[in-house]
């Protein structure tokens, strides 16, 4: 996994918010800042590696217990602050390689910490906050469910250093009893298995792929362009439903998620019991 | 000698764990009210399995049953642990999400409708990888929407347990019901051992696994709302009670301050003894300090 460096989160957090540290009282792995974005003051959130984290299995950028609750409280904070005001945009910058795999994490219910963060993001979206996810690096598995997957709109860089997936290659190959080479071959033919972000885009889950010249050391122009895309995604989210229906109504979904659409129409047709006549 | 000695409770019990998904769903609904939707004869199958040499199942391992619980409209969605480990694929995931959305629409129309999800699953079905993960994200969004109107109850009876992304779905539920045979956690022991070594988690240590993920521990630490015996009547009774209890004043996954403080108070310098951990996270404490 040497192609992935886990530095992009911090790079883009700084590029977009002009900050690079966590808020007082927060774990150093959770970066939060409020910064101007178009007409708004947006809240930016990002998870970054903290080599000195209290939990040993969460020192390399994994999303663990402190990260889950840290994100959840900073998202809930703006829901509370904006209760009777214009709902500020929330931007989740995503470069997370995995959830934390540890015994302490399981004992202290990491599933609930992750659910708490997803609850906060989802509740913000339902309350009318435009929640925008920007995938700048890896967005894997439970880490992405915790941080990013509840957004109204998901943007990702069109770049080989970007990966959205259910499980990293080695583990997926092991569990499905395949070699990595076999898995890679299969992934080229079967869209939902692919590790390529351009294939992921075909599933209709992304709002847009963004081209960036240098994702690890962005130019002022790169940053300006990404900000413009975020602003237009925010505008789009503000005039759209607060649920995730856009994902299944997208052009990509009409092609690749035909079975999902069939389930929905069949279930809706059978939902109300017809009286025998 | 009393007769009781020869007919102890467990002989009279009808095991719930031994039921398949269809029987489980039916058993939770009021007698005579269960009606299966998008059943096997509708043949809505996974389009991704056959091309990978895996035989699909005509219900994709997910049973949607509409009916009544305690006289009130309800939908029960049960995952079949015996098919692909109860894993979430495009079709099984969408069945659950769409059922919850329809229940939500009924609530909005003034027809109170609750949901029970029976989770026996390892999480994402890796043959459908990204669509499985997407399905879980969408299911989580639908739980959040429905639980504003009506309780969403998660039942994990065993023996597969509830793991991976689906543990997050359980985390969002209004109530969690478990048996002693059930397990609930984000990462299974094998995955942890693979990623961080046998010192971190010995996946052959059955006692350790149940001491951490088991229903008894989850209930004792306030992470599950009911612990039931493997008895169909008892399970159905617990589901009925929680359904009629309605939406909780605050959901567990929204009690951020409480749990954040609990995590902060933990000494992380060594592994914890699960038994001692029970004294730190005492059941019932979770209501004391909600935000």
Mean pLDDT computed over B30-43: 97
- Round the average pLDDT of chain A to a whole number and report it: 95
- The DSSP bridge pattern shows strands A131-140 and A153-157 to be parallel
Specify the number of domains making up chain A: 2
**Residue B241: predicted pLDDT:** 98
Looking at the fold, whether A27 and A138 belong to one and the same domain comes out as yes
Which residues make Cβ contacts (< 8 Å) with residue B113, sequence separation at least 6? B72, B73, B74, B75, B103, B106, B107, B150
Looking at the fold, whether A265 and A185 belong to one and the same domain comes out as no
Mean pLDDT computed over A240-255: 97
Does residue A208 belong to any structural domain of this protein?
Answer: yes
Cα separation of B282 and A109, whole Å?
14
Residue in A73, A104, A113 nearest the CB of B272: A104
Does residue A3 belong to any structural domain of this protein?
Answer: no
Domain with A209, as residue range(s), is 8-243
Q: Which domains does chain B have, with CATH numbers?
A: 13-184+224-252 (3.90.226.10)
Does residue A74 belong to any structural domain of this protein?
Answer: yes
Looking at the fold, whether A225 and A256 belong to one and the same domain comes out as no
Q: What percent of chain B has pLDDT over 90?
A: 92
Strands (E), A48-130: 90-96
Q: Is the pLDDT of residue B8 over 70?
A: no
Looking at the fold, whether A88 and A27 belong to one and the same domain comes out as yes
**Whether B33 contacts chain A with CB within 8 A:** no
**Whether B73 contacts chain A with CB within 8 A:** no
Hey, of A52, A110, A119, which one would you mutate to test binding to chain B, going by the most B CBs within 10 A of its CB?
A: A119
Contacts of A126 in chain B (CB under 8 A): 144-145
Report CA-CA distances (Å) from B279 to B40, B217, B218. 47, 11, 13
What is this model's ipTM?
Answer: 0.97
Hey, of B184, B212, B253, B277, which one would you mutate to test binding to chain A, going by the most A CBs within 10 A of its CB?
A: B253
Q: What percent of chain A has pLDDT over 90?
A: 89
Contacts of B192 in chain A (CB under 8 A): 101-103, 106
Looking at the fold, whether A43 and A168 belong to one and the same domain comes out as yes
Does residue A260 belong to any structural domain of this protein?
Answer: yes
Does residue A1 belong to any structural domain of this protein?
Answer: no
Mean pLDDT computed over B179-203: 95
pLDDT confidence of A6, banded at 50, 70, 90?
A: confident
Cα separation of A23 and A30, whole Å?
8
Looking at the fold, whether A180 and A266 belong to one and the same domain comes out as no
**Residue B285: predicted pLDDT:** 56
Hey, of A71, A112, A151, which one would you mutate to test binding to chain B, going by the most B CBs within 10 A of its CB?
A: A112
A16 sits in which H/E element: helix A8-17
Looking at the fold, whether A176 and A197 belong to one and the same domain comes out as yes
Residue with more model confidence, B196 or A168: B196
Looking at the fold, whether A113 and A155 belong to one and the same domain comes out as yes
**Whether B201 contacts chain A with CB within 8 A:** yes
| CA closest to B43 among chain A residues | A263
Mean pLDDT computed over B246-266: 98
Looking at the fold, whether A210 and A266 belong to one and the same domain comes out as no
Using one digit for the tens of pLDDT, what is the confidence trace for A123-134?
Answer: 999 999 999 999
**Residue A176: predicted pLDDT:** 80
Q: Is the pLDDT of residue B3 over 60?
A: no
Residue in A70, A145, A248 nearest the CB of B168: A145
Residues 4-23, chain B, touching A (beta carbon < 8 A)? none
CB contact under 8 A, B187 and A106: yes
Using one digit for the tens of pLDDT, what is the confidence trace for A212-233?
Answer: 999 999 999 999 999 999 999 9
Q: How far is A265 from chain B (nearest CA, A)?
A: 9
pLDDT confidence of B284, banded at 50, 70, 90?
A: low
Looking at the fold, whether A38 and A143 belong to one and the same domain comes out as yes
| CA closest to B210 among chain A residues | A107
pLDDT confidence of B7, banded at 50, 70, 90?
A: low
Cα separation of A112 and A189, whole Å?
36
Residue A140's CATH number: 3.90.226.10
Looking at the fold, whether A15 and A98 belong to one and the same domain comes out as yes
Looking at the fold, whether A260 and A219 belong to one and the same domain comes out as no
Q: Which of B123, B122, B184 is nearest to B154 (CA)?
A: B184
Does residue A2 belong to any structural domain of this protein?
Answer: no
**Whether A203 contacts chain B with CB within 8 A:** yes
Using one digit for the tens of pLDDT, what is the confidence trace for B79-131?
Answer: 999 999 999 999 999 999 999 999 999 999 999 999 999 999 999 999 999 99
Does residue A131 belong to any structural domain of this protein?
Answer: yes
**Pair of tokens at residue A13:** 């957090």
Contacts of B165 in chain A (CB under 8 A): 141-142, 145
Contacts of A99 in chain B (CB under 8 A): 186-187
């Amino acid at each position: 996994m040497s192609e992935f460096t886990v530095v992009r989160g911090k790079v883009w957090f700084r590029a977009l918010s002009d900050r690079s540290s966590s808020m007082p009282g927060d774990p150093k792995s959770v970066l939060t800042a409020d910064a101007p974005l178009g007409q708004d003051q947006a809240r930016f959130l990002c998870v970054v590696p903290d080599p000195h984290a209290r939990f040993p299995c969460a020192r390399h950028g994994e999303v663990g217990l402190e990260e889950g609750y840290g994100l959840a409280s900073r998202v809930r904070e703006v829901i509370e602050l904006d209760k009777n005001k214009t709902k500020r945009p929330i931007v989740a910058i995503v470069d997370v390689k995995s959830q934390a795999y540890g015994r302490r994490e399981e004992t202290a219910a990491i599933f609930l910490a992750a659910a708490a963060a997803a609850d906060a993001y989802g509740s913000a979206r339902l309350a009318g906050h435009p929640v925008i996810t920007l995938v700048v690096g890896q967005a894997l598995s439970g880490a992405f469910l915790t941080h990013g997957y509840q957004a109204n709109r998901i943007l990702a860089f069109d770049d080989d250093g970007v990966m959205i997936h259910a499980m990293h290659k080695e583990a997926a190959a092991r569990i499905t009893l395949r070699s990595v080479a076999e898995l890679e071959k299969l992934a080229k033919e079967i869209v939902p298995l692919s590790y390529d972000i351009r294939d992921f885009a075909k599933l209709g889950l992304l709002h847009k792929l963004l081209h960036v010249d240098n994702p690890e050391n962005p130019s002022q122009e790169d940053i300006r362009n990404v900000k413009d895309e975020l602003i237009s995604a925010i505008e789009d989210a503000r005039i759209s439903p607060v649920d995730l229906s856009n994902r299944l109504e997208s052009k990509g979904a009409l092609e690749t998620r035909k079975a999902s659409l069939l389930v929905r129409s069949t279930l809706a047709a059978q939902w109300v019991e017809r009286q025998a006549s | 000698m009393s007769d009781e000695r020869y007919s102890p409770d467990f002989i009279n019990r009808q095991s719930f764990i031994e039921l398949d998904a269809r029987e489980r769903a039916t058993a939770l609904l009021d007698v005579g009210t269960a009606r299966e939707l998008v059943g096997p004869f509708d043949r809505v199958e996974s389009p991704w399995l056959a091309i990978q040499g895996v035989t699909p199942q005509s219900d994709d391992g997910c049973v949607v049953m509409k009916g009544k619980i305690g006289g009130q409209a309800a939908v029960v969605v049960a995952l079949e642990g015996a098919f692909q480990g109860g894993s979430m694929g495009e079709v099984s995931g969408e069945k659950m999400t769409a059922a919850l959305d329809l229940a939500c629409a009924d609530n909005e129309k003034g027809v109170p409708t609750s949901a029970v999800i029976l989770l026996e699953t390892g999480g994402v079905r890796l043959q459908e990888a990204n669509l499985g993960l997407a399905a879980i994200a969408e299911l989580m969004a639908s739980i959040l929407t429905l639980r504003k109107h009506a309780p969403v109850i998660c039942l994990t009876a065993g023996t597969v347990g509830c793991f991976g992304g689906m543990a997050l779905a359980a985390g969002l539920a209004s109530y969690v019901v478990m048996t002693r045979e059930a397990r609930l956690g984000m990462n299974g022991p094998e995955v942890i051992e693979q990623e961080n070594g046998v010192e971190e988690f010995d996946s052959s240590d059955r006692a350790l696994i149940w001491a951490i993920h088991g229903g008894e521990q989850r209930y004792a630490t306030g992470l599950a709302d009911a612990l039931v015996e493997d008895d169909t009547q008892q399970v159905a009774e617990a589901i009925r009670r929680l359904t009629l209890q309605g939406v909780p004043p605050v959901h567990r996954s929204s009690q951020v301050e409480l749990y954040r403080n609990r995590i902060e108070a933990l000494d992380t310098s060594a592994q914890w003894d699960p038994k001692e951990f029970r004294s730190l996270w005492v059941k019932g404490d979770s209501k004391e300090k909600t935000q």
